[in-house]
Chain A
Amino acid sequence: MEAIQALKNQDHSGRRQLKDKLFFYGIIVLSLVTISPIILIISKLVVEGYRQISLDFLIQTTPDTFEAMTAVSNGEKIPGGIANGIVGTLLMVVLASAMAIPIGILTGIFLYENQGKFMANLTRNISDILQGIPSIVLGLISYLWVVKHVTSGFSALAGSVSLAIMMLPMIVRSTEETLKMIPQTLKEAALALGVPYHKVILRVLVPTGFSGLLTGILLGISRILGETAPLLLTALGSSVISLDITKPTSAIPLLIWEFYNDPNMVDLIWSSSLLLMAIVLILNIVSKQIAAKRK
């Protein structure tokens, strides 16, 4: 009788072990499924896109549909490149950074200096919620603000305003988190030496936390680089290189969207996407590396 009971127990525990094993393998399989898209996407981009990449691709502007069509029908490579997109993207990212970084860092310092106060909490909550607002809504807002009232037309400025709003909460967040990690004693030592308050911030806090701030900024930039939706509503796109911020301008993601909609230019989408992906991923990895070094 007892032997049977023991056998039964053993059988039961065997089933438990089996379940445990199955679950473990299930986890591994599902995790591999999770990461398979990124490998598939990157390999697809590389396989389809590397042929179009050349110096011309980087320094010439986009061909018009007709040129592309002739080239395709003659079996040649599509002439031209995406220089207008690269310049436009750079222009808008620089403008957006110029707006978002100072405001973001100042707000971050404000939050850090006023821990627990009502205004700071309110600001922090609003900035957190802002981070979750869909980019297309930010595009709409920038359309209402800038396109309608400031430049009275689609413009690079409008595009960068929407990108700046996107970047802002990330910079605020990372500034505050970085400053929190700096030892209080450092600040107190500086204050005890009679250093005026603004100099404490500029000469002590900001340099010490520099790599943290840089990480936040780079992540912010890598996030706005690939944004398409808000630019559709604000910067519109253009086929020439334009540095005038009150005129419509192009951007790499906008060009991808145009190529996607134009059957003659479809060949260009992969190389443009490859370039965009490469820039974004490199920025991502670099900023993670900087962050990892800090710790």
Chain B
Amino acid sequence: MLAAGMVYSLVGGSVPAFKTFGLKFIVSGEWDPTEGRENYGALPFIVGTLMTSFAALILCLPLSFATSLFLGEYFRGTRVARILGLLVDLLAGIPSIVYGLWGFYVLRPAMIELGFGGRGFGIFTASLILAVMIIPYATSLSNEIISMVPNDLKEAAYSLGATRLEVISSVTIPNARSGIVAGYILAFGRALGETMAVTMLIGNTNLVPSSFFDTGNTMASVIANQFGEADGLKLSSLIAIGLLLFLITGIINAVGKLIIKKMN
């Protein structure tokens, strides 16, 4: 019921934007709020969202993969793993805006120092912080799946003289593969919708970004940034972006859940 109502009102709110711009709304790269020749296209934000989220996913991959092996394989059930697991869980508890502050005051100066151009804003900085934010989501699922791989399989491989690395790469990972993939899909879905931290770090320009070190805007950050001064057609365009975001994250989550369900 609730969900149907939500879709209904989002669609209702975005009708004016789609009516005016049609399908061009999705593919147009222009976002021009000047009175009289208003023209809104969501492409810069769609591209910005995908770029930040993919970059975040790639950055988070080695980290969360290592952590889930640490928790689910090497140190399973020990005190060290419990503490590490608790800390990773706490990462999920930090509010988005605190991540944003930390990114702005600590990470951004560091980026400038390292010579990543300009004032340290941009897609790369935003993806770095985003990667940290989605680690707990990616880790918790793959950790669970990895620790569920049957012991007999692993013991069989050990008895054949395999080293631990060989056991992991030829027994554990193939057995846990779909679970790990599902975890990353869900984490990707999280990354798509993150707002505050990204808004504070991405630099907020309404152009299609040309590289990972460019500034840009994501779908969520443009809503947060421009909602205050929006009315009429612009408001409707922002709501349309919200609808697109809703649909994309809904689909990604459904796919992730489907994979998990198939596994069981």
Contact = CB atoms under 8 A, between A and B. Distances in A.
A131 to B, nearest CB: 8
A56 to B, nearest CB: 22
A16 B163 contact: yes
Contact of B94 (A16, A141, A280): A280
Contacts of A168: 2
B254 A129 contact: yes
**Contact-residue bracket for chain B:** 35 or more
Given A17-B163, A30-B62, A40-B102, A277 B94 contact: yes
A233 to B, nearest CB: 5
Closest 8 CB pairs of A and B: A134-B193, A226-B95, A30-B66, A132-B253, A229-B195, A20-B163, A31-B70, A140-B242
A16 B168 CA distance: 13
**Contact-residue bracket for chain A:** 35 or more
A209 to B, nearest CB: 22
B87 A35 contact: yes
Given A30-B62, A134-B193, A144-B10, A45 B98 contact: yes
Contacts of B119: none
22 contacts: A20-B165, A23-B168, A24-B74, A29-B66, A37-B132, A125-B257, A128-B257, A129-B250, A129-B254, A134-B192, A135-B195, A136-B224, A140-B239, A141-B9, A165-B6, A168-B2, A229-B96, A232-B224, A256-B97, A257-B97, A281-B93, A284-B93
Contacts of B74: 24, 27
A16 B166 contact: yes
Interface in B249-264: 249-250, 252-254, 257
B204 to A, nearest CB: 12
Interface of B: 2-3, 5-6, 9-10, 12-13, 62-67, 69-70, 74, 84, 86-91, 93-102, 104-106, 132, 135, 139, 163-166, 168, 186, 189-190, 192-196, 200, 220, 223-224, 227-228, 238-239, 242, 245-246, 249-250, 252-254, 257
Nearest to A277: B98
B66 to A, nearest CB: 3
Nearest to B98: A273
Contacts, number: 193
A134 B84 contact: no
A200 interface: no
A228 B253 contact: no
B221 to A, nearest CB: 9
**Residue among A20, A125, A141, A281 facing the most chain B CB atoms (10 A cut-off):** A141
